[in-house]
Amino acid sequence: MSSFTGESVQSDSLLIASGIATWLDDERQASIIDQNRYLDRIGEQRPLMALPIDDSASQFFIKLYSHIQRLPLWFDAFAEDPTNDYQTGKMIFSPLMFLSGTYRERFIFQSKSQGDYYVRKTAKPSNLIKGLSEIVGVYTLASQNREVSLTSLRSTAEFCVRTALEEAKILNDRAANGEDFGQEESIAVDSTMVREFSWMGFTLDLISFARQQRGDEIASVPFLEGKSISDDPQVYYPFAA
């Protein structure tokens, strides 16, 4: 069991934020492929988000459910050996992929035009670092003296999944009613941000746990490359000098 006092993560908040922001940008660029082309067009995405959740044509929810279904399987493999860099990187990959998706959903609701969506979606990692580092600071301050273990990580994963499903229903309702599109602040935007914070918290817990499993060396925490898992992403070390 590792002790999560907050100081170890908070002291490296900019480093961690930079590593996460770079991963998100890598994933964004890697996702610009033909089968994901619909993700780049808000005119196609908004009607898909408005379809009933159980509709077979709802690519938005199909993608969400497929990512949720693989999470417990990945966690079991990770829990068998938390020192295995590939399985740890794969476990961290999961909430990062959810985080990337929630950013995209927020931009779909906030954007006033296709051009506006493109500008938001292609923002440089440097634009994210300040905001992410603030989240790291707030989260770690709230988490001081909390123990992070495999048991607590599994509970956090389950909480994140419940939250994702609950908030996805809110987005679906707002989209089905044609509400919140083009608004900077709205119920739908709040819903995406609830999930952003939960997945970010899970990511930070995993990073903290992985760090403790590796002699408290942040440089030894592994990620998988920011691209589709079907493209065989490899292990790398985002916090290494």
CA distance to 14, 47, 91, 158, 231, per residue, from 154 (Å): 27, 34, 11, 6, 26
Weakest mean pLDDT among 9-23, 81-95, 221-235: 9-23
Percent of the chain scoring above 90 in pLDDT: 49
Q: Are 221 and 33 in contact (CB under 8 A)?
A: no
- Least Cα distance to 22 among 126, 114, 111, 110 occurs for 126
Helix extents (H) in the chain: 7-10, 13-30, 42-50, 59-80, 85-110, 114-121, 125-142, 150-176, 187-213
pLDDT at 11: 61
Q: Are 48 and 55 in contact (CB under 8 A)?
A: no
pLDDT at 5: 44
pLDDT at 145: 65
pLDDT tens across 180-230, in order? 999 999 999 999 989 988 999 999 999 989 999 999 899 999 999 999 898
pLDDT at 71: 95
What is the residue extent of each domain of the chain? 2-236
- Least Cα distance to 67 among 41, 96, 31, 94 occurs for 94
Contacts of 25 (CB under 8 A, 6+ apart): 124, 125, 128, 226
pLDDT at 144: 62
Helix extents (H) in 143-238: 150-176, 187-213
